[in-house]
Structure 1
Amino acid sequence: MCKKESLKILFERRSVRSFKEEQIKDSELEIILKAAQFAPSAMGQQPWHFTVIQDKEILNRINVLTRKVYEKSGIPRLEERAKAENFSPFYNAPTYIIVSVDEKSVAPIADGALALGNALLAAEGLGIGSCWIHAVNYLYTTDEGKELFRELGMPEGYIPIGSAAFGYIAGEKPEPAPRREGNINIIK
């Protein structure tokens, strides 16, 4: 891949919130996960664990539990979102990946975020839509959520830092939001 193609992927990736029901191919999932595993990490620790969920029953269970958390959150925007008839924290995407990290590692949040970022960029390169989903962090604050994560195989001593929805895009990819200005200082 040339530099121009790499930059194109960086500049064209968007958060997609409308997915086809069709499951992504296993070969595409493998590439997304490999890209995540090749993210930089503090001191090379690679403290991440990836939980890939494509089972509709488990995805539905996550929906139900997350709706409960949102309803009781005290955050008006989340409470309002939970009222939606078609509520899905991951926008009904067919593939949902949770990134958890060893909380005793040197920089767990940064390492996990970089891994998830690599996964999102790899998906873009494959023509697969994706969206960072923070709901997993709210879900983990509940006893039911922690129990679910244990059932899903999250290692002991690990905490979720984020997740993402993946699937083929239904409709048009969103236009980029204007970039915020005044957030760069260059000191020479």
Structure 2
Amino acid sequence: MNDVIKTILSRRSVRAYTDRQLAQEDLDLILEAGRYAPTAHNGQPWHFTVVQDKALIDEMNVKAKAVMAKSDNAWVKGVGSDPSFHLTYNAPTVIVVSGKKDSMGLDTDTCAAMENMLLAAESLGIGSVWVGLLRFYLTLEEAPASLRLPEGYVPMHGAAFGYAGGPKLPAPARNPDVVTYIR
């Protein structure tokens, strides 16, 4: 099996991190992998914000949870109301992928960039988790300014990165009955 397939099959969402910050060389490689994601018409409509300021990461957590605590969805409300829950699991680095508002493939292109970064991190021995709940912060009116986004960009996705603070969990079973062949 080749290294790319091994990396894809071994990547797990990490939800416990050490305090050790990423080495700049590794962070540069992760970001480079994001920049090499495919895009509609090679638009490359993304902007990457690397947040390593613990105060801002904690503020993102607090503000997202405040929105979540008011949700009509019982699960979201419960998570938002849990004082012990930290959306980014106290990871030392959070990367937010933003996209140009008027780009053709905004969501698809920014998702591809995020996935490339998650796989690059795994290949470097760095843990990560795509944090969908960060959308409760990213959709706040103040988010673009706090993330210092260029004019015309909207924050789309966020993920936590760091060194795993525990053992890697086994992959959950995958449903093999999800393919239809038309030949």
Q: TM-score, normalised by structure 2?
A: 0.95
Distance in structure 1 (CA, Å) of the matches to 2:153 and 2:42: 17
- Deviations along 1:126-156, one digit per CA (max 9) or x if unpaired, are 0000000112322233xxx321321321122
Change (3 A) 1:101 1:93: same
Larger mean Cα displacement after TM superposition, 38-47 or 170-179? 170-179
1:95 counterpart (93, 96, 103):
93
Unpaired runs of 5+ in structure 1? none
Please state how far the C-alpha of 1:103 moved relative to its aligned partner.
2.1
Residues 1:179 and 2:174 aligned together: yes
Distance in structure 2 (CA, Å) of the matches to 1:41 and 1:110: 8
Larger mean Cα displacement after TM superposition, 145-154 or 64-73? 145-154
Unpaired runs of 5+ in structure 2? none
CA contact (8 A) 1:98 1:136 kept: no
1:110 counterpart (99, 108, 111):
108
1:140 counterpart letter in structure 2? L
Where does residue 159 of structure 2 map in the other structure? 164
* Sequence identity percentage: 38
Q: TM-score, normalised by structure 1?
A: 0.92
Larger mean Cα displacement after TM superposition, 74-83 or 60-69? 74-83
Where does residue 154 of structure 1 map in the other structure? 149
2:127 counterpart (123, 126, 129):
129
The size of the alignment, in residue pairs, is 183
2:141 counterpart letter in structure 1? K
1:156 counterpart letter in structure 2? E
- Deviations along 1:72-106, one digit per CA (max 9) or x if unpaired, are 12221111112323221111111000111112111
CA contact (8 A) 1:32 1:123 kept: yes
Where does residue 41 of structure 1 map in the other structure? 39
